[in-house]
Structure 1
Amino acid sequence: MSDDVIDDVVVVGGGVIGLTTALTLAERGLRVRVWSRDPAAGTTSAVAGALWWPYRIEPAEQVGGWSLESLRVYEKLAADPVGTGVRIVAGVHADTTLAELGDWAREVSGLRQLTAAQVPGPHGTGLAARLPLIDMPVHLAWLRGRVEAAGGVVEQRTVTGFAEAARSARVVVDCAGFGARDLVPDAGLRPVRGQLVLVENPGIEEWFTAADGASSETTYFFPQPGRLILGGTAQEGDERLEPDPATAAAIVARCARIRPEIAGARVLGHRVGLRPARAGGVRLDAEPLPSGGRLVHNYGHGGAGVTVAWGCARRAADLACG
């Protein structure tokens, strides 16, 4: 181990996974430093919708537990929506039944099966729910503030290899998201492109989703303070970061079939992010570093990083401290 080690942990990655993990570690009394290539507003996490729901994430046998741990945290944070960015909001998951969900669904209060007549648009069934809906720019700023209040440091810094971080800390935690494809390297990581349209909210108070896991097109809208977020896409292997005008028009049209007033809403902007999907699902494990330290991996959360952030952070912290 190098003599110039100054921290207990360096967390590589400053999105929701990285900051939540850093906060969990700092609150356990460790000296934590976050190295993030991008400012929080420039991360994939900042683009997210972000509704709590296990979506496009594996392994199924562990996702439920991670998700429920995170749900309990968000339910508490919703007591201060202005500060934390977390609100509990009602909405509908179309084309979803209770029977097709995992055991975790029994622990989500208020999930209720709907008939076709109760689901807007051309959908045969759906679920009513009240779930955490997170304003990500606000939440990421809150996470950073909590990390710093706990004595952690957040730096904008590009990392070219984990050995660089290992010279500064005994433990390195890899929360690099899609960036782990090159850092690890991990050829099993693949981008799943998501494109969103932000519009003025014409008075919609409930969220709506209709997401076919086998399709590259989804339909959803999330009312966030000052805007309505429309989605979306799930384009595997597509690394384009520029918004596509035709895709944006199609997103608006799909959402307007559910709520016609969306068609005339003024467009405020467009967002594109690459979800870090991974063959085999989330990687959450530890390995020794040549320096004598430990490298903990916490990446590959696909489209549900927000949903599992706290559960995965606690497992990563256990590995870092073990």
Structure 2
Amino acid sequence: MSGGTCDVIVVGGGVIGLTTAVVLAESGRRVGLWTRDPVGRTTSAVAGALFWPYRIEPARQVGPWLERSLGRYEELARDAEATGVRVVPGVMANTRLDGLGSWTSRVRGLREARPEELPEGIVQGVRAAVPLIDMPVYLRYLKARLRAAGGTVERRPVAHLGEPAAVAGAVVDCTGLGARELVPDVSVHPVRGQVVVVENPGIEEWFVGTLPGAGELTYLLPQPYGVLLGGTATEGCWDLGPDQAEADAIVALCTRVVPALAGARVLEHRVGLRPARPRVRLEAVPLPGGGRLVHNYGHGGAGVTVAWGCAEEAARLATG
């Protein structure tokens, strides 16, 4: 299927773009996905991918996106080997039940954590079992699912959104940080995140929280390939190179949470740039000639978490 025979062109090959393309293709639309980078080299590929809202607004809209996405991920977790999605228990520290939204009514086993379930120095938190996603496996799954629905994936950088608009009646802009120049939208900015992957000494549960005396959020996410340790959130930083001092600090903080991590062999350093914005932009605007452009970007650190809910809304806007 060439670009000229598409009903919709989705621009952006990260989790937001792929999910949106899948929803559109499975609804019967002829969909082409254009991506500047290989799917496995997008920002999404290095995401920690724990299902929990992080650095995303507006709260009023995020709740429904979360509820719809949670149901989708729980379905995908029934075939974890193929999808990379598992439902894993863990602790979200420094978080109160009454401060969470209605979406949590769907979360398995959500309750206040008992003191013995919290690491030293943490006095409060909640326990829950939520989706945890192995992103390299999951992105390959989404790409295959899109193709099975008749969609195409094309490595094709876009200089301006008029290019896809010239070959399809509807365009969905899922370019993340690229929207800063492509739209252009200078409110989109990077929040640099660095993580360290180490061999797993036997950790089966995740942990997220800010430790006493630490400025950054600390998290441990057990993945099939090792334990992903994080992290950092540096506003406005475009540097994709790993920083050894930051990596050492991450490992030290995570070892405070789980002492068994001491001496764990480092497998990989990863750096990604979260596409932050004061609020998600999810809206349709008319194109010259009667076409439609839908923006779906600015998801910050929660792109994976809200991907399905946002994709369904973007698909409605593109075809309604």
Task: Check conservation: 2:175, 2:297, Cα contact below 8 A.
Answer: yes
The answer to whether the Cα contact below 8 Å between 1:220 and 1:231 also exists between their aligned partners in 2 is yes
44-53 vs 285-294, greater mean Cα deviation: 285-294
Residue 168 (structure 1) shift: 1.6
The AA in structure 2 aligned to 1:282 is V
| Structure 1 position 99, deviation (Å) | 1.4
How far does the alpha carbon of each residue in 1:72-100 deviate from its partner, in whole angstroms, 9 at most, with x for none? 01101101001000001111111111011
In the alignment, the residues of structure 1 paired with residue 62 and residue 161 of structure 2 have an alpha-carbon distance, to the nearest angstrom, of: 27
CA contact (8 A) 1:195 1:248 kept: yes
Alignment partners' CA distance in 2, 1:45 and 1:104:
23
- Equivalent residue number for residue 284 of structure 1: 282
Structure 1: how far apart are the matches of 2:264 and 2:223? 14
Moved more, 244-253 or 289-298: 289-298
By how many angstroms is 1:235 displaced?
1.0
The structure 1 residue matched to 2:306, chosen from 305, 308, 315, is 308
Which residue in 1 is equivalent to 2:315? 317
Q: Which amino acid aligns with 1:308?
A: V
- In 2, Cα distance between the equivalents of 1:210 and 1:202? 20
Q: Which residue of 2 aligns with 1:254?
A: 253
The answer to whether the 8 A contact 1:216-1:235 is kept is: no
Partner-residue secondary structure (3-state), 1:110: strand
Q: Return the offset for 1:120.
A: 1.4
Cα distance in 2, alignment partners of residues 291 and 182 from structure 1: 24
Q: Hey, what's the Cα distance between the residues in 2 that align with 1:240 and 1:126? A: 33
Q: Is the 8 A contact 1:93 1:127 kept in 2?
A: yes
Give the TM-score normalised by the residue count of structure 1: 0.96
Q: Is residue 108–residue 130 contact of structure 2 (8 Å, CA) maintained in 1?
A: no
- Describe how 1:236-247 pairs up with structure 2 within 5 A: 236-247=235-246
Q: Is the 8 A contact 1:198 1:230 kept in 2?
A: yes
Q: Structure 1: how far apart are the matches of 2:106 and 2:78?
A: 20
Asked if structure 2 preserves the Cα contact closer than 8 Å seen for 1:115 and 1:124, the reply is no
Q: 2:138 & 2:86 partners in 1: Cα distance?
A: 11
Gaps spanning 5+ residues in structure 2: where? Answer: none
Alignment match, 2:103:
104
Q: Please give the alpha-carbon distance, in whole angstroms, between the structure 1 residues aligned to 2:308 and 2:102.
A: 19
Give the Å deviation of 1:109. Answer: 2.9
Distance 1:156 1:73, change over 3 A: same
Residue 49 of structure 1 corresponds to which residue in structure 2? Answer: 48
Q: Alpha-carbon deviation of 1:187?
A: 1.1
Specify every segment of 5 or more residues in structure 1 that has no aligned partner in the other structure, as ranges.
none
Q: Tell me how far 1:26 sits from its aligned partner.
A: 0.1
| CA distance in 2 between partners of 1:121 and 1:199 (Å) | 22
CA distance in 2, matches of 1:240, 1:181: 16
SS at match of 1:271: strand
> Matches of 1:118 and 1:223 in 2, distance apart?
17
Letter in 1 for 2:106: E
Q: Is the 8 A contact 2:107 2:129 kept in 1?
A: no
Pick closer, same or farther for the CA change 1:104–1:19 going to 2, 3 Å: same
TM normalised by structure 2 equals 0.96
Task: Give the match's secondary structure for 1:111.
Answer: strand
Instruction: Judge conservation of contact 1:216–1:234 (CA < 8 Å) in 2.
Output: no
SS across alignment from 1:5: helix
Equivalent runs, 1:1-322 vs 2, <5 Å: 5-211=4-210, 217-279=216-278, 281-322=279-320
Contact 1:5–1:170 (8 Å) recurs in 2:
no
Cα distance in 2 between the residues matched to 1:142 and 1:106: 28
TM-fit CA distance, 1:211: 4.7
- Partners of 2:164 and 2:113 in 1: CA distance: 51
Q: How many angstroms apart in 2 are the aligned matches of 1:153 and 1:135?
A: 23
Kept in 2, the 8 Å contact 1:92–1:208? The answer is: yes
Rounded Cα–Cα distance in structure 1 between residues aligned with 2:128 and 2:11:
35
Partners of 1:52 and 1:127 in 2: CA distance: 14
